[in-house]
Chains A and B, each alone.
Chain A
């Protein structure tokens, strides 16, 4: 079984995110990290490998992004991936979700995985959707927001929470599965794994290397245009109490509640 894990670099959670007014795109400069949701996808791949129900030949981390995204791949490799593939090309800048999913599917097609895993959402923008786009291009069955996944009956038995409760779905391979953060507790990489990550193979590919049609990616190839960024209607900020003396804090909360006739 060959598993590809889609990963993405996102601005570090501690860094304030902003729109670059000159391009209208998310300013992706500043500290970056591996999307935290993706670490759950890598862990899920590792657990399949270690579970022993099926032999895993290879775990490959795949990303699309500028040179800086190499760091996310190193992190992915330190968490267990055997090697990584980076799709980088100036022509990809400004791609919308559909174009990004298309480009990733072409990079994946070349790898021909039996299973594609990814995190259910990214910290910096698009949520829930990229897996479904990739799956349709690869003509594979797909499920998102999976919180339990077992190798069973030659496929995967997946559980997730949907509109009416928990659903259990049996999926044949090859498949595209996005996982939720409840699926596992990602391990911390060992120092040795962190040091060794740079030595694992990292392949750089351009759009022509994987047969991407340049007219279907980038800003011109995208079917949706986002702009007119503006502030939302904000409700006035609430009152904040820093708890120093808990008795005093509680008195303040009770007074606040009484004022509003909530007690």
Chain B
């Protein structure tokens, strides 16, 4: 039997969308190799029977529930190692996200498994699962095959969330003896929101700014342009400028931020790192303005403008205002 164990992250009583995608994917692939998909959850009293059972709707037949500290990777490694050790899962599967990378890598060390990260596709081949992963700035795809335990960490948004007629999952409580080093990290504060609470997910037009805007005040150019577009438009930002405190976290696109697919995504001064790309690549139209002709963003934009945004953005704003006024 080749069963798949997925880790399902939760926060404030809600499961993470990428984790649910991993359960759906695990269910679909496990069926192809004659196995089942199980889930592991770890946390406190908010992991109620009802909540855990609800993972059955995404295809999990069994949910292992461990009590422990939330939001840290190493306790989950301990719990998954125990569950896999006792139940002999063939694969561990993670949706995108930071914890998945850490847990998967820790598990590979602990269980001597093979690990692949940034996976965009999993498929069955001769009764085994193989994982496809883009490499070299997404210019090539490499295929991973595993000798024994396969640890597959998806790229964010790679696995679609699908419901099945699975009914409710069995919930099994697991007692975990956490390793000493797992207890040497303590969450002091989790999920702090920095900056204003802005809504970008519903916008039809997003003007996104990156480090190329030069300084925090550079965002004024992006805001002016968004205002000129009018209607349902907003300003978004990259992780680099959010970490630097130039713009609110709530406006961040990418791996640890929001995923958006507006009608128009206009990227100003954004190089287009993979971590950003995964949050906006399904936008209907992508326009990029960047002074570096070699910026990766030009590889996946529909219209690329190589030039100085300090010159282009103000004139573009005026031109759009004029069109709107006419």
Contacts and interface: CB of A to CB of B under 8 A. Distances in A.
B165 interface: no
Contacts of B307: 241-243, 246, 249
B98 A128 contact: yes
A42 interface: no
A260 B285 contact: yes
Interface in B258-273: 263-264
A188 interface: no
Interface stretch (A52-60, A86-94, A202-210, A221-229): A221-229
A223 B112 contact: yes
B179 A139 contact: yes
* Residue picked from A98, A224, A227, A238, most chain B C-beta under 10 Å: A224
A162 B239 CA distance: 11
B192 A167 contact: yes
Contacts of B77: 136
B145 to A, nearest CB: 5
Contacts of A131: 105
A224 B106 contact: no
A256 to B, nearest CB: 5
Interface string A34-58: 0000000000000000000000000
Contact of A135 (B101, B138, B181, B303): B181
A243 B135 contact: no
Contacts of B147: 223-225
Contact of A132 (B109, B114, B229, B316): B109
B304 interface: yes
Interface string B87-119: 000000000011101111110111011111110
Contacts of A237: 299
A247 B286 CA distance: 21
A182 B116 CA distance: 26
A254 B300 contact: no
Interface stretch (A65-73, A109-117, A142-150): A142-150
Contacts of B190: 162, 164-165, 167-168
A237 B189 CA distance: 44
Contacts of A181: 240
Interface string B301-326: 11111111001100110011001100
Given A19-B140, A239-B303, A169 B264 contact: no
B205 interface: yes
B150 interface: yes
Interface stretch (A1-9, A76-84, A170-178, A192-200): A170-178
Interface string B252-296: 000010000001100000000000000000000111000001000
* Residue picked from A175, A227, A235, A262, most chain B C-beta under 10 Å: A262
B101 A129 contact: yes
A126 B117 contact: yes
Nearest to B190: A167
5 contacts: A101-B105, A161-B242, A168-B190, A223-B149, A246-B315
Interface of A: 17-19, 26, 96-98, 101-102, 125-137, 139-145, 147, 157, 160-172, 175, 180-182, 216, 222-232, 235, 237-243, 246-247, 249-251, 253-254, 256-258, 260, 262-263
Interface of B: 9, 11, 16, 71-74, 77, 97-99, 101-106, 108-110, 112-118, 134-150, 179-182, 184-194, 205, 229, 239-240, 242-244, 249, 256, 263-264, 285-287, 293, 298-308, 311-312, 315-316, 319-320, 323-324
